[in-house]
Amino acid sequence: MQYRTLGRTGVQVSSLALGTMNFGSFGSTTEAETTAMVRRALDAGVNLIDTADAYSGGVSEELVGRALKGVDRDEVVLATKFRLPLGDISRLGEMKGPAVMNRQGGSRRWIVKAVEDSLRRLDTDRIDLYQMHRPDPTTDIEESLSALTDLQRAGKILYIGTSTFSAAEMVEAQWVSERRRLARFATEQPPYSILVRGIEADVLPTARKYGMGVLTWSPLASGFLSGKYRPGGAVEQSYRDRLAAGRPMPPATADDARKREAAEQLYTLAEENGMSLVEMSLAFVTGHPAVTSALIGPRTMEQLDAQLACGDRVLSGELLDRIDEIVAPGRTIRPADAHAVNPALEPASRRR
């Protein structure tokens, strides 16, 4: 396992980090499985564990907290997030009303409560990295940074970060921190994979300019780079099972077809170079000079072991050139995979 400095914090973290969105009801991972995977990751040299209050309505944090019982707390860099509606992430579309409206966001009112709840669920006296899960266009970033600064000074959180911010939002936050003498975001956590390369054009250069650590998520592009989307793979079999049960899947879009085609070409390229597609995909992400760690999000021990085995691979310049021929630098094949919504493009903000 390789270790790198997390931005300018001086903290050393592993090049692969354990993401925990699948822990709990969302990924159907049990407590026993969670504990076993956390311990396996730690034994393999992973020292950064990332969760969020929104994962399975807080259950992921509880499972992580219990899994770390008996582990030297100083050996683990523990990260969590706030901002998204606090509830079962699989049911967010059904959740409405004031109860949800005020249990999310970047307001001081919510941040102060959210951090206390996360500390309780994680059963810890501090959060090493506390991240804003998405931008909050309804709240002035100074409001959020002011509350986070107070929590940092109180010792409840040590460093602060963002997730899925645009380059412009990252720059604005840095300027506010400097001008108002507030804590500065030390990290950004964007989606990044061979199929989702949009951040190479602006987010990654901005992170390097401001000395921010980068913790990328979805390095396997939500499974498209795991091999399960290949002809005859798990997804195709699931599709056949649904058809047999009279429950057809939604039709694939043109972008989906392009992603499948690119993934198939990448699979062949990886085989030609004596490695698995998973190994090549993880090495691609961790090999970018702006990336500190890649978050892996296993649902099973088998998935975890397969990804941990890829920690030390370095891709040659020639192989990187071949990858660029399949997916050009800075390109995201399916724009929705960037998970970043520009408020200026929302219907209410358009001219029509």
Catalytic residue at 210?
no
Helical ranges in the chain per DSSP H: 31-43, 59-67, 98-101, 108-122, 141-153, 167-180, 203-209, 234-244, 254-272, 277-286, 301-308, 317-326
Residues 273 and 300 sit within 8 Å (Cβ to Cβ): no
Cα–Cα distances in angstroms (integers) from residue 350 to residues 84, 139, 335, 341, in the given order: 25, 21, 19, 14
Task: Enumerate residues 6+ apart whose C-beta is below 8 A from 125.
Answer: 119
Distance of CA 175 to the CA centre of its chain: 25
Handedness of CA 315, 320, 321, 323 (dihedral sign): positive
Rounded CA separation 334/324 (Å): 16
Residues in the chain: 352
Residues 83 and 132 sit within 8 Å (Cβ to Cβ): yes
Residues 24 and 55 sit within 8 Å (Cβ to Cβ): yes
Question: Which DSSP letter does residue 133 get?
Answer: S
Of 55, 130, 192, 267, which is the active-site residue? 55
Dig out the tokens for 286 from the structure: 């961790």
Number of H helices, E strands in the chain: 12, 10
Residues 242 and 249 sit within 8 Å (Cβ to Cβ): yes
Q: Which residues are catalytic?
A: 55
